Structure 1
Amino acid sequence: MDALASVLEQVPDNPMMPEWIGIQSRGMKQWITMQMAQNLGVCANMHFCFPRQMIDKILTSFMPPKDQQNQQNQQALQVQYEGLNENLLFWSIMKLINENRSQQSLSSIENYIKEDETGKKFYQLCMKIAKVFDDYQVYRSHMLIDWQQHQSHETLKDPVAQWQAELWTKIVSEDPQNHLAFKARNFLEKFSLTNINTDNLPSRMSFFGISALPELFLQVFEKMSEIMDINLFLLTPSNQFFFDIKSERQMGRLALKEEIGIDPEHLYYEMTNPLLSSLGTAGKGFHSCLEAFNYHEPFDDLFQDPINGSGKSNTMLMQLQSDILNLILRKAGHEDAPVTIAASDTSVCIHACHSPMREAQVLKDLLLNEFEKDPELAPHDIIVMMPDIEAYAPFIESVFFLETFLPFSISDRRKRSESESLDAFLKILALRNARLDKKQVLDLLLSESIAGKFNIMTDEIYYIEKMAEDAKILWGRDGDHRETLGLPAFEENTWQFGLQRLFMGMAMPENHGALVQDILPCQFFEGLDLEVLGKFAAFCHTLFLCLEILAGKKTIEKWCEALKKISIIFMDRNFKNGEDLVFLSQTIDELEGNAQKAGFKDLVSFEVINSHIEHKLDQNISQGNFLAGNITFCNIMPMRSIPFKIVVLMGMDEKAFPRQAFTPGFNLIKKHPKPFDKSERDEDRYLFLETLLSARSKLIITYTGMSIQDNSKIPCAGVVSELADTMDQSFVFQQGYAYHLFHPLHPFNEAYFNQTDSFFSFSNDNCHIARALSLIRSEEGRIQKRIFVPRSAEKGSAEKESKENLPGIILDELIRFFKNPVQEYMKEGLNIKKPDVEDQTHDREIFSISGLDQFTLGSFLVEQKTGSCRETQFYPIIKAMGCLPFGEKGRFEYEKMKSIASPLIDAARTIVSKKQLPPISLEINIDGLIVSANFTDVREDGMYSLSFGKLNSARLLSGWIRHLFLNICAPPEYPKETILIGRDPKGKKPVVTCSFPALESFALKYFKELIQIYDKGRKHPFYFFCETSWLFAQALLKEKFEPGPSELDLSEPDPSELNPFEHEKDLIFRAMNRAKAGWYGGYYQTGEKENRYVSLCIENNDPFESVDKLISSGFVQNSLTVYKPLLENLKIT
C-alpha cells in the first residue's frame, strides 16, 4: 500500500484524468480508498475497474490503420463492442440453435433437447455454452480465430469441438471482428503509437492485489506499457524463487511416474515449506507466467518478516508466516528444528462443532473473549470469511443479535437475499406452476412491498391466516386449476371455495350452520374482520390475475411487459424498496436489450423467462456492507487478503472447500488443458494461503466436525488438515495439541462454565440452563456443589433462586400442569421455550380424517343431533365444511364417524333430559394459594363430562381434579358425584362411563397433596408422566402393592432411607415393563420420553433403564401419590 501511495503521489501528465486502479473485488476498492485517504489525506478521482473492463476500454480505443479516419465514431464502436459478452452470446446461441436444429452438425444438441417441452433444458444448455465460449475468448483466442477462418486446429479432431466450431462460426458470421479474441489478436499484431486513441486513457494504470491474470491480458498490458506506465502491486507469499517448488506429494508422484523408486528428497527438487509448495499452485503459475514478460522492480525489498520486525514475542501464526516467506521446512531431524510453543499461544486455533449454528455460537464467545483481552481491538479489525455466506447468514444473524450484541455486517449476499422485494417478486413467479398451497400464498404477505400494496397491516395477517384456516382453504385456485395439474376438478378446499364461504358468512352470519346455495357460511365476526376480508379478497384476486398474465408462450418483449406490469400492480413502491424495484426494472430492460441486440424474436415459455430472471437476481452479489466499520462477514473471494488483526474462516468442511465448480463435458479448456489455465480448485487453495498470510494477530477456523445425529467425526477441509499437519511437525506443544478443540453439542454444556476446561462461554442464559440441568441430574434432586459462572465482565456469583409468589390460579392451570409437570417446569420455571413443530399436512388435500378433525367433527355431530337438528342430513354440511376426503372416500369416512358417534349421541340425549343447575363460580384458599374455577355442566344428579374422544388417562385425571374441587367448594345442595362419558380407549366397547363418588372430607386431603406437588413442580422437576404413570400405577396396584402412607414428603430425604421400596423391586420391575409402552411409545403412538422438554430434561439419564433409577428419580412415589386415590375411587361401567 505504501508503494501504491508513492506512485500515486507523482503528478501525471493530465492531473484531471482519473487514476485507473485494477482490482479483483469491490471490497478491495473500499479498502484502498480508506487506506489512501489515511496515507495522502484525501482520496478522489480514482477509477476502479476489473481487468476485463480495462481490456475492453483499451481495445475500444485501438484503431487499425484503415479505421483511423473514423475517430469520431469511437463511441459507436464502443457500444458495438460491448455486445459480445456472455449475455449476448447466450441469446445468439439460442437463436442460432433454434434456426439450425435440423442440421447434422448440431445433432448432439438436438438429441439432448428433443423432449424438452418447456425449453428449460435448452435454456440451461445455452447458458453453459455461452459461459464456455466467453472463456474461450480469454484462454483460447487462437482457437476461435482458427475456427472463424476455417483453418485446421488440433481440437477439431475431437467430435465435441466440431459442433462448437460450427456454432461459433455462425455467431460471428455477421460481424467477424466484433469479439474479444479477434480484437486482442489484432491489437497485438498491429499495435503502434499512431493507431491508438489515448484521449480516454490515463497516463498510467495500476493493478493492486491481483491474484492472477490471463496470459492474453498480460500481453495486451505489455503492449500498453510502451505508451504508459503499467504498475502491478502483487501479494507474493515468498521473497525467494518459489515458482518451481513441489510438494511432497507431487514429488512422490514424480518418482512413481519415472519409476525410479528413490526418496523424493533425493530428486533435484528442493524440499521446502509444505504449505507454500502445496497451496501455492495458482500463485506459482501466475508468477512464472509473469517471468516471461519484461518488467523491472523500482522498489527495494518490500517484504517484512513477521518475526524479525515485529518486536513482540513470536507466536505460531508469526512463525508459520515467516517460514512461508523464507521457504523454511521445519521437521524433526532437519536443519530447521520444530519450535516450542507456549501453552498460552492461541494465535492459530481450529474449532470443530456439530452444526453451523454451533459454529456461530462458538465464534461469538471467542470474539467476546478477544474483546475482553484486548481493549484496543475494534469490530472493524475482524473479518469472518466462509465458502458460502448464504448458508451461514441466518445463523450469524440469529446468534449475533441475541444477548450480548456485537456490531456486524454481512456482505456478498445475493441481491435476492438482501431484498425482500426482489425475493417476493421471484416467489410470485414461482407460483405460476405451483399448487397454490395456503402457506405458499400467505407467505407473500410477509413482504412489506406486497402487504403495503393492499394496505394490509402486520397485525392483520394473523386474521387473514385465521380466516383461511376457518374456511378450510388448503390448495388450488379452483376446480379448473386443479384440472390443469391432472387432478379431479373438485372445488372443496380451494381458494374460491374458501372465499365463497367467507363472503357468505359475512352476508348471512346467522346461517353459519346451514347450507345456502350449497355453500356453508363461515362463522364470522363483525367489525375489523369485514375490512380485513376485503383486503384479503383483493390480494387473492390480484394474485390470480398476475398468474394469468404469466400464461402461455411470448416473445421477450411481451414477457418484459408482463413482468413490469406485475411489479406495478402487485408491489408497493416506497422509500425502503425504491432502489430494489429500480434494479428489478433495469434487469428486465437489460434482458430485453440483450435479446434485441442478438436479434432474438422467438417465443419462449414461462419456465425459460423465470429461470433467466432468477439467475440474474441470484448472480448479482451485493457488497455494500463490506468494511462498513463492523465485524465483516463475507465470502472467501479472490484478493480478500486484506490485513486484519483477527481473521476467521467459518464452514471449512471437507465438502465445502475447495468449492466444487461444475464443468460441462464439452469444455475444451478442461479436455485439453494448457499452462496458465484457470483452476477453481487451485485458486481456492491459494485463497486459503493468502488468508493465512493476511491475519496479523490471530487465525480462527471453525467447521462442522461432528455429526449432530450420532456424534461421529466429520473431516474438515483438506487445506485445514494440511495446516494442522504442518503445525504438528513445525511446533512442539508443551501440553498437547491444544489448538484443535472439539466442542460439545449444546451451548449450555457444563464444560463451558466449570472453569476447568479449555471451553468458556459469555452467555448468562446458557449458564442459567446449565445450572438448572445440573440440579436436575443430581441424585435425589440434591444440588451438586459445582460453580457455574458465565465468562463475562460481570463475574458475579450464581443467581439466587427467587421464591415466586403465587397469589392465585385457575383450575385449568393445575390440570395443564399435571398433564406434563416436567414440561411446565422447563417452560415456566426455567423459561425454556421450544417452538412447536409445524404441522406440514395443512396444505395437502385430505386423504383421511386426522384425530383432531375426527374429534371436532364428531363433537359437532353429537352436539347437533342432541339439539334441535336431530333429523338433519349432516353429510352435505360436513362436506361443505371441507373436512372430508374427495369422493366416495369422504362418504365412507363420514359413515364411519357417524357410527362411532351414535352411542355417544344416545348418551348425550340422556344427559340433556336431566335438569341442569345454574352455572357457578367457586374458589378456595389452599395454604395461601387461591384456586378458582367455573362449573357449567352440573345437573341434578352430578357433574357430567361427555367427550367424543377416548377416556384416556389425561381426561380421567382432568375429571378427577375437577371432581375434588367440586366436592370441596360446592354448596350443600349441589350433587357431588362426577360422571365421565366417552369412547373406550381399549376399543372393546362403543362407549364407556366412568364415575367418581362423593368424597366428603377426603377430597380436601387429596387436593392439598396436588397443590403441594404443583408448588414443588414449579421449582424442581417432578417425574410424573400422565400416561406412563397411569399404566405403571394400574399395573402396580393390581399386584396388591402396599406403598404405605400416601402422604407426600417434600423435605430432603434421609440418606439412610433413600429406597423405601427396597423389598418391592420385583413388583416394581413388572409394573415398569408394562409402563414402558407409554414411555417409549410404539408404532401407533409417540412415547412420552420423546416430548421435547422431557428429552431435554432427562437427556442421557433415562429413569426406565433400571428399577433403581426409576425409584431414585421419584417416579414410583409420584405416580402412586397422584393416581392411587383416583384408582381407588374410580368406577367403570
Structure 2
Amino acid sequence: MHLWVPHPSDALWRSLREVGPPVRRVDDASHQHVGHPLLSSLGRDSRELQRTLGAVEVLDVPVPPEPAAPDSLLGWLQSDLRANAEPDQAARASRTWERSDRSVQVHACHGTGRQVDVLREVLLGLLAADPTLEPRDLLVMCPDIETYAPLISAGFGLADVVRDQGHPAHQLRVRLADRSLTQTNPLLAVATALLELAGGRAGASQVLDLAHAEPVRRRFGFGDDELQQLAVWVRESGVRWAFDAEHRADFGLADYVSNTWQFGLDRLLTGVAMSDDSATWLDRTLPLDDVGSGQIDLVGRLAEFVARLRRVTDALVGAHPLEHWLDTVVDGLGSLTAVAGADAWQSAQVQAELARVRESARGLGVSRLRLPDVRALLDDRLAGRPTRANFRTGTLTVCTMVPMRSVPHRVVCLLGLDDGVFPRGGAPDGDDVLARDPVTGERDPRSEDRQLMLDAVLAATETLVVTYTGADEYSGARRPPAVPLGELLDALDRTAAAPVADRLVVHHPLQPFDARNLTPGALGVEEAFSFDRAALSGARAAAGARVVTPRLLDEPLPARTAGDVSLDDLVRFFKAPARAFLRQRLDLALADEDDPIEDGMPVEIDQLAQWSVGDRVLRDLLGGMSVEHAREQEWRRGVLPPKWLGWRVLGDLLRRAEPLAVEGRRMRTLEPRAVEVDVDLGDGRRLRGTVAQVYGDRLVPVHYSRLGASHRMEAWVQLLALAATDDDRAWSAHAIGRPTSSRGGAALASSQLGPLDHRAPALLRDLVALREIGLAAPLPLPLKSSLAYARARRTHAPVEQALDKVRWDWEDGRFPGECSDPAHLRLWPDKRLPGLDEQPGPGEEHAGETTRFGALSQRVWSPLIAAEQGSW
C-alpha cells in the first residue's frame, strides 16, 4: 500500500519523525515542536496522524521544491506555515502590507443572506480585475452547506430566468456538491423524519411537517388547501403532542389525554356527526364544530395518516437486530408514502442506500441496536458525500470543507465561519467511554474542522476570502468571529510589519442598497464594491429627498350607484369606518397572521385566549347552561392548562362572566325574537336587515369584552333601525359588558339607550348618508378617539382640551393606540390624527366645529351620548 499524505509543513513533519507511537491526548507533547502558532492551534490532527503512522516505513523521495510564494500577505503567511516558523522582527519589518493587497479578505456581514450577497460581489470583483481568472479557478467551501445551499441557488445561476434584468452573478453557473441525500431525495428525508419522530413526543408541528412532505402528500392526497385546513383543525381541536395517553406514559403523564392526537381526532370525528351547539359530549370528547359535510373524507384521511404513523413509530423502539430496523423503515415508507412514476429513482436509491448499510454492518451479526445507534448509523450514511461528477466541471464549485480542502485553487472562499457554527461542537456522547480519555488519532470534530481550515488556507494560491456573521441582523450588535478565524487574524497581525486585522476586516452594511456599497473606496476597494444595478437604483432613491408616504387616495372615488342598504353593512361600517372603506368599497381585506402550531401543553394562556374562553362560557351561561356544565364543556376543548392550573384559570373567567350572565338574564325576561327591519331612505332606496335577540321592546346585547365604543355603536345603529321601522313602540337598548377599568370593583358596565322618539328615521338616514361619503373617501372617524372627543365637547370642554383627551386613545402608549390599527396605517401612514387639517364637507357640518374630525365626531356620537345620558 502506498499512502500519500498532505501535510501543511515539511519542516514540521521532519521535526516530528521521532515523536513516537500514539499516547493519551493529555500526554501529547508534539505541540512543543511547533514553531508557528497556527500550526499549533489548527494542526493537531496532522500531528496526531503522524503519530499514528509512526510505525510505517517512510520512503523519503526527493520532491521538487515548493514554488516561491507570492509577495503578498497570503504568501507571507503560507511561507511561515511551511517553514514552521513565526517571523522574527527583522522578517516582519521587511513586509509592508498595503490596502491594495487583497490576497486575504475577511468580510463581516449581517447574517447568512448578506454573506452570500457579499460573496458574489467579491467573486465578480475578482473576475473583473483579472481577465485570466475563470469560474473553475474559484472554490467556495462552507461548513454548513445545507443552510447556504438555497441562498446560493437564489444568488447565482438562474441566467435563463432573470436574463439581463438581474444581478450579473446570475450569469455564473454554480455546482453545489456533496449535499445530504435527505435534501435531494424526499423519500430519504421521510425516513429520517420517521426516526426522529420515533421515541419522541410526536409534536403537532412535527406531524404536520411530515404531512407536508411530497411523498406523504401523494400517498394521502393532501392538497395545499387541505393542509391549511388540517393546520386549522389541529389548532382548534387542541392537539399539542403525543399520540395518546399511553404514549405520554413515558413522560409521566399517563393519566392526561388532553392535547394528544387521539384527543384531537376524537373531537374531529365526533364533530362529523354532532354539533358543538348541542352542548353534549361523549365521555371526554367534545365535538369540534368546524367540520363540514364536504370535509368528512379529509377527516378520514387525517385519521388514517396518524394511525399509520403511530404503528410505524411504535415499531421503531426497543432493541432489535439491524435487519428489523431497516425492514421497519421500508415498511413505514411503504405505508406512508407514494412516488410518481417519474420519481421511481427515489425508491431505488432508498433500497440501494439501505443495502449499503446492511453490507457495511455485516459484521454486527445479530447484535441488538437501539434507536440512537440506528440514527447515528443512517445519519453517517445519508450525510453529504463528494462525488466525482460534482468537481472540476468548469463551473463555480460550492462544497463542504472536506473534499477539496487540499486541492490548490487560485481563489479559495470560506463561507459562514460563524461563532457557534464553526468549528462543530465537540461534546462527547454519554455512552462513549473512550471519549472521556481519548488517545491521539481518535476523532474529534472540533479538531477536524480546525485542520480543514488550515488546509484551506494553504490551498489558496492567490486569494483567500472569508465571510462570517459579524453583526446581528436585527439589533446590529457586533458579533465576534469564530475562534479559529480569530486565531488566523492574530497570526496575520504577526506576519507583517504592522498589525493588519483591524484594516483587513471589512464590516459591511446591513442592506445591499446602502450607499457605501456603491461608493468607490468606501469598503476597501478603489472602485464601487457592488455590481448590483438594482441596489444602485435603491441607493439613489434613498439618497434623494425624503417623501412622506402618500395617502391611499388623493381625491374621493366616484359615488357608487345608489341602492338598498344592508343593516349589517351599516353596522360594520360604523364599528370600523376605515376598515369598512377598504373592505366594502375597495374589496381589500387586511391579512391576519395565522397563529403558529404549538407543540407544548398550555401552562398559561394569553389575554386573547382568555377572552375566547370567557366569551364562550358567557354564551353558555346566557343560554341557560349551569356553571358546572359550562365548566365541564370548556374543560374538554383542550385550551386550558392541565389539572389545577386550568381549573384556577377557568374559575377566574367564570367569576367574571357570571355577573354579566345574571344581569343579561335579568334584562331578558321575555322570549327572544328576530325583528325584520325595513326603512324607507327616500329616492326609492330602503334599509333592510334583521335584528336578532330582541326581548319585547328591548335590545340586550351582552359582551364579555370591556364595554367600549364599538359595542355602543352596534347597539345604537340597530336601535335606530328598530325605531325607524316601528315608531309606535318604545324601543330601547341595554348593552352590558365588563367595566373599562378594574378600579372601583364594579363587576359589570352597562349602557342604556332610549327609548327613542320620531327623530330615529332622520338620524338613521343621516348615518346612511355619512356611509355613502365614507365609501367614496375614508372618513376620519377612529371610533374610540371620536367618542372621547364628543364626550369632552359634551361637557363644553374647549377643542384643545378635548383633543388632549383624544390622545389617550389615538397615540401609542403602554398598549398600541388607534393610530397603529392596520386599517388606519394603510390610510393615514403618518400616524397623525386624521381630519384635523380638513374642513367639514357638505352634509358633515356640526355647530361649533371647524375641523372635519370634530364635526364627524359630534354628528355621529352626540345623539348616542344624549340618548345614553337620558337627555334625549
Q: Report the TM-score when normalising by structure 1.
A: 0.54
CA–CA separation in structure 1 for the residues paired with 2:477 and 2:702: 52
Residue of 712, 719, 740 corresponding to 1:985: 740
Partner of 1:918: 676
| Counterpart residue identity of residue 563, structure 1 | V
Partner of 2:843: none
Query: Are the aligned partners of 1:393 and 1:410 in contact in 2 as well (CA < 8 Å)?
Result: yes
Partner of 1:1106: none
Query: Are the aligned partners of 1:960 and 1:1126 in contact in 2 as well (CA < 8 Å)?
Result: no
Unaligned runs of 5+ in 2: 7-16, 28-32, 429-434, 524-528, 561-568, 583-587, 755-759, 838-850
CA–CA separation in structure 2 for the residues paired with 1:320 and 1:1102: 58
Q: Residues 958 and 513 from structure 1, CA distance in 2 versus in 1: closer, same or farther, beyond 3 angstroms?
A: closer
Tell me, yes or no, if structure 1 residue 1079 matches structure 2 residue 813.
yes
CA–CA separation in structure 2 for the residues paired with 1:725 and 1:1122: 71
Q: Could you tell me how far 1:377 is from its partner in structure 2? A: 8.3
| Counterpart residue identity of residue 354, structure 1 | H
Comparing 1007-1016 with 874-883, which one deviates more in the overlay?
1007-1016
CA–CA separation in structure 2 for the residues paired with 1:293 and 1:756: 53
CA–CA separation in structure 2 for the residues paired with 1:804 and 1:1034: 27
Partner of 1:570: 336
Q: Residues 863 and 753 from structure 1, CA distance in 2 versus in 1: closer, same or farther, beyond 3 angstroms?
A: farther
CA–CA separation in structure 2 for the residues paired with 1:497 and 1:1006: 51
Q: Could you tell me how far 1:529 is from its partner in structure 2? A: 1.3
Question: Alpha carbon RMSD of aligned pairs, Å?
Answer: 6.5
Partner of 2:564: none
Q: Could you tell me how far 1:539 is from its partner in structure 2? A: 1.0
Q: Residues 411 and 950 from structure 1, CA distance in 2 versus in 1: closer, same or farther, beyond 3 angstroms?
A: farther
Partner of 2:470: 705
Residue of 442, 451, 458 corresponding to 1:690: 458
Residue of 342, 366, 380 corresponding to 1:601: 366
CA–CA separation in structure 2 for the residues paired with 1:319 and 1:371: 23
Q: Residues 679 and 511 from structure 1, CA distance in 2 versus in 1: closer, same or farther, beyond 3 angstroms?
A: closer
CA–CA separation in structure 2 for the residues paired with 1:645 and 1:1039: 82
CA–CA separation in structure 2 for the residues paired with 1:754 and 1:1120: 51
Tell me, yes or no, if structure 1 residue 494 matches structure 2 residue 260.
yes
What secondary structure is seen at the aligned counterpart in 2 of 1:501?
Answer: helix
Q: Residues 876 and 1013 from structure 1, CA distance in 2 versus in 1: closer, same or farther, beyond 3 angstroms?
A: same
Comparing 572-581 with 499-508, which one deviates more in the overlay?
572-581
Residue of 731, 741, 746 corresponding to 2:506: 741
CA–CA separation in structure 2 for the residues paired with 1:756 and 1:1040: 65
Tell me, yes or no, if structure 1 residue 902 matches structure 2 residue 673.
no
Q: Could you tell me how far 1:448 is from its partner in structure 2? A: 1.5
| Counterpart residue identity of residue 992, structure 1 | A
Partner of 1:388: 144
Aligned residues: 777
CA–CA separation in structure 1 for the residues paired with 2:82 and 2:681: 82
The 5 A counterparts of 1:72-91 are none
What secondary structure is seen at the aligned counterpart in 2 of 1:693?
Answer: strand
Partner of 1:543: 309
Tell me, yes or no, if structure 1 residue 855 matches structure 2 residue 855.
no
Comparing 956-965 with 738-747, which one deviates more in the overlay?
956-965
What secondary structure is seen at the aligned counterpart in 2 of 1:424?
Answer: helix
Q: Could you tell me how far 1:574 is from its partner in structure 2? A: 4.5
Query: Are the aligned partners of 1:351 and 1:702 in contact in 2 as well (CA < 8 Å)?
Result: yes
What secondary structure is seen at the aligned counterpart in 1 of 2:813?
Answer: helix
What secondary structure is seen at the aligned counterpart in 2 of 1:632?
Answer: strand
Tell me, yes or no, if structure 1 residue 478 matches structure 2 residue 233.
no
The 5 A counterparts of 1:159-178 are none
CA–CA separation in structure 1 for the residues paired with 2:505 and 2:217: 49
Query: Are the aligned partners of 1:919 and 1:937 in contact in 2 as well (CA < 8 Å)?
Result: no
Q: Residues 435 and 1034 from structure 1, CA distance in 2 versus in 1: closer, same or farther, beyond 3 angstroms?
A: farther
Q: Could you tell me how far 1:544 is from its partner in structure 2? A: 1.4
| Counterpart residue identity of residue 902, structure 1 | E
Partner of 1:184: none
Partner of 2:417: 652
CA–CA separation in structure 2 for the residues paired with 1:338 and 1:322: 16
Unaligned runs of 5+ in 1: 1-19, 26-138, 145-154, 162-243, 251-274, 308-314, 784-799, 823-827, 926-931, 1018-1023, 1047-1060, 1062-1066, 1104-1110
Query: Are the aligned partners of 2:139 and 2:397 in contact in 1 as well (CA < 8 Å)?
Result: yes
Query: Are the aligned partners of 1:282 and 1:686 in contact in 2 as well (CA < 8 Å)?
Result: no
What secondary structure is seen at the aligned counterpart in 2 of 1:669?
Answer: coil
Query: Are the aligned partners of 1:359 and 1:650 in contact in 2 as well (CA < 8 Å)?
Result: yes
Query: Are the aligned partners of 2:557 and 2:777 in contact in 1 as well (CA < 8 Å)?
Result: no
What secondary structure is seen at the aligned counterpart in 2 of 1:744?
Answer: coil
Tell me, yes or no, if structure 1 residue 457 matches structure 2 residue 228.
no
Q: Could you tell me how far 1:22 is from its partner in structure 2? A: 9.1
Query: Are the aligned partners of 1:639 and 1:687 in contact in 2 as well (CA < 8 Å)?
Result: no
Partner of 2:326: 560
What secondary structure is seen at the aligned counterpart in 2 of 1:881?
Answer: coil
CA–CA separation in structure 2 for the residues paired with 1:490 and 1:873: 20
Q: Could you tell me how far 1:533 is from its partner in structure 2? A: 2.0
Percent identity over paired residues = 20
Query: Are the aligned partners of 2:216 and 2:337 in contact in 1 as well (CA < 8 Å)?
Result: yes
Residue of 725, 728, 733 corresponding to 2:493: 725
Which has the higher relative contact order, 1 or 2, with Cα contacts under 8 A spaced 6 or more apart? 2
CA–CA separation in structure 2 for the residues paired with 1:441 and 1:434: 11
CA–CA separation in structure 2 for the residues paired with 1:442 and 1:642: 44
The 5 A counterparts of 1:257-656 are 293-296=59-62, 303=67, 336=94, 338=96, 349-364=105-120, 382-393=138-149, 395-396=151-152, 404=166, 406=170, 408-508=174-274, 513-516=279-282, 519-523=285-289, 525-526=291-292, 528-574=294-340, 578-598=344-364, 600-618=365-383, 625-626=390-391, 631-637=396-402, 639-640=404-405, 647-653=412-418, 656=421
What secondary structure is seen at the aligned counterpart in 2 of 1:350?
Answer: strand
Tell me, yes or no, if structure 1 residue 667 matches structure 2 residue 423.
no
| Counterpart residue identity of residue 457, structure 2 | L
What secondary structure is seen at the aligned counterpart in 2 of 1:843?
Answer: coil
CA–CA separation in structure 1 for the residues paired with 2:831 and 2:640: 42
Q: Could you tell me how far 1:745 is from its partner in structure 2? A: 3.6
Query: Are the aligned partners of 1:855 and 1:949 in contact in 2 as well (CA < 8 Å)?
Result: yes
Q: Residues 653 and 534 from structure 1, CA distance in 2 versus in 1: closer, same or farther, beyond 3 angstroms?
A: closer
Q: Residues 935 and 418 from structure 1, CA distance in 2 versus in 1: closer, same or farther, beyond 3 angstroms?
A: farther
Q: Residues 305 and 950 from structure 1, CA distance in 2 versus in 1: closer, same or farther, beyond 3 angstroms?
A: same
Partner of 1:231: none
Q: Could you tell me how far 1:444 is from its partner in structure 2? A: 1.0
Q: Residues 334 and 575 from structure 1, CA distance in 2 versus in 1: closer, same or farther, beyond 3 angstroms?
A: same
Q: Could you tell me how far 1:507 is from its partner in structure 2? A: 3.9
Q: Residues 702 and 861 from structure 1, CA distance in 2 versus in 1: closer, same or farther, beyond 3 angstroms?
A: same
Q: In the TM superposition, what whole-angstrom CA distance separates every residue of 1:129-184 from its partner, at most 9, and x where no partner exists? A: xxxxxxxxxx999969xxxxxxxxxx6xx8999xxxxxxxxxxxxxxxxxxxxxxx
| Counterpart residue identity of residue 667, structure 1 | P
Q: Residues 979 and 398 from structure 1, CA distance in 2 versus in 1: closer, same or farther, beyond 3 angstroms?
A: farther
Q: Residues 447 and 1102 from structure 1, CA distance in 2 versus in 1: closer, same or farther, beyond 3 angstroms?
A: same
What secondary structure is seen at the aligned counterpart in 1 of 2:676?
Answer: coil
Q: Could you tell me how far 1:657 is from its partner in structure 2? A: 5.0
CA–CA separation in structure 2 for the residues paired with 1:159 and 1:362: 40
Query: Are the aligned partners of 1:331 and 1:730 in contact in 2 as well (CA < 8 Å)?
Result: no
Q: Residues 141 and 373 from structure 1, CA distance in 2 versus in 1: closer, same or farther, beyond 3 angstroms?
A: closer
Q: Residues 851 and 767 from structure 1, CA distance in 2 versus in 1: closer, same or farther, beyond 3 angstroms?
A: farther
Q: Report the TM-score when normalising by structure 2.
A: 0.67
What secondary structure is seen at the aligned counterpart in 2 of 1:918?
Answer: strand
What secondary structure is seen at the aligned counterpart in 2 of 1:993?
Answer: strand
